[in-house]
């Protein structure tokens, strides 16, 4: 990627009071400067949001591991993608089916979150955000999504409290707080995070076709409260990338598992990719 282009992106980030050197923590996986965001961990090869998936992603050198947050019925931040438990939970029906937000942490812990992926992963338990941060600490970079925050009031306050407790809001520490990125489909949630912890980088996720017909105005709005945009990879073309960069926004596209599509997006100049196969993206980057 040309030095002039990198300088322009860094300049835009500086205007947003984000250190480019701190946020651009992508050298770990080598190759072109595209952040490898391990979507739910190495979830193409292990059950999503489990220790197995996260350990594997970290071992191969992914730049970020991604978490989807829910609140349990007793107010604990747990890492889970779906609103409902049916797809990934196995165990007592009373505890392991229906909306996760209606279950206590103890009820969720009675469920097996690995067997649905394969018998070899039997016994994987749900992970709390506290457990994740305690295990990996500041040696790992986190990409955290607030899921349906309008249905789980107080999520942002609890998230900020946990990050603060583990030192991720201490700006005196090298690389902090840029070792945590907050993403959401909810603008309200991102603006709330901005009020609670303005130093945390924020990325606005966009549904498929979400900016159709309003690319410039939509990106201009996003740039007022976020440092990046997370579009569906099918919506990304040269015009999208150019417009986002004009507005000082990073482009982190989701969710890309095909190497040919990865290469297309790298050539377009995206800044990061969410992928279930971080191993394939790391290998592709190394080949450049």
Q: Catalytic residues, which ones? A: 39, 81
- For residues 102 and 115, give the distance between their C-alpha atoms in angstroms, rounded to a whole number: 22
Tell the burial category of 59 from Cβ atoms under 10 Å away from its Cβ (0-12, 13-18, 19+).
exposed
Tokens 């595209």, located at residue:
34
- Residue pair 12/250 in contact (Cβ under 8 Å)? The answer is no
Backbone angles phi, psi at 250, to 5 degrees: -75, 150
58 DSSP assignment: H
Q: Which of 43, 69, 39 is nearest to 121 (CA)?
A: 43
CA neighbours closer than 13 Å in the CB half-sphere of residue 246 = 13
Rg of the chain, C-alpha, whole Å = 18
Torsion angle defined by CA atoms of residues 84, 109, 64 and 29, in that order, rounded to the nearest 10 degrees = -120
- Residue pair 214/224 in contact (Cβ under 8 Å)? The answer is no
Tell the burial category of 32 from Cβ atoms under 10 Å away from its Cβ (0-12, 13-18, 19+).
middle
Q: Which of 35, 19, 5, 12 is nearest to 281 (CA)?
A: 35
Tokens 């789980």, located at residue:
152
Tokens 């007793």, located at residue:
74
């Amino acid at each position: 990627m040309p030095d002039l282009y990198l300088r322009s992106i860094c300049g835009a980030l500086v205007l947003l009071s984000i250190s480019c050197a701190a946020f651009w923590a992508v050298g770990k996986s080598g190759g072109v400067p595209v952040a490898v965001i391990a979507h739910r961990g190495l979830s193409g090869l292990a059950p999503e949001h489990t220790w197995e998936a996260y350990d594997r992603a970290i071992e191969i050198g992914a730049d970020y591991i991604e978490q989807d947050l829910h609140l349990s019925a007793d107010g604990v931040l747990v890492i889970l993608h779906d609103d409902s438990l049916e797809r990934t939970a196995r165990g007592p029906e009373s505890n392991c089916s229906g909306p996760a937000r209606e279950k206590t942490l103890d009820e969720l812990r009675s469920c097996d979150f690995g067997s649905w992926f394969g018998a070899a992963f039997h016994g994987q338990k749900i992970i709390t955000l506290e457990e994740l941060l305690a295990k990996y600490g500041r040696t790992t970079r986190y990409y955290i999504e607030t899921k349906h925050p309008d249905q789980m009031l107080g999520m942002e306050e609890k998230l900020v409290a946990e990050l603060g407790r583990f030192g991720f809001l201490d700006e005196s520490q090298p690389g902090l707080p840029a070792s945590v990125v907050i993403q959401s489909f909810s603008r309200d949630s991102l603006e709330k995070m901005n009020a609670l912890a303005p130093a945390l980088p924020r990325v606005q996720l966009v549904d498929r076709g979400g900016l159709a017909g309003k690319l410039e105005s939509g990106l201009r709005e996003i740039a007022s409260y976020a440092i990046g945009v997370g579009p569906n990879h099918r919506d990304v073309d040269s015009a999208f990338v150019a417009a986002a960069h004009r507005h000082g926004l990073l482009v982190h596209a989701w969710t890309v598992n095909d190497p040919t599509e990865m290469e297309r997006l790298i050539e377009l100049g995206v800044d990061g990719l969410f992928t279930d196969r971080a191993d394939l993206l790391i290998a592709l980057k190394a080949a450049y």
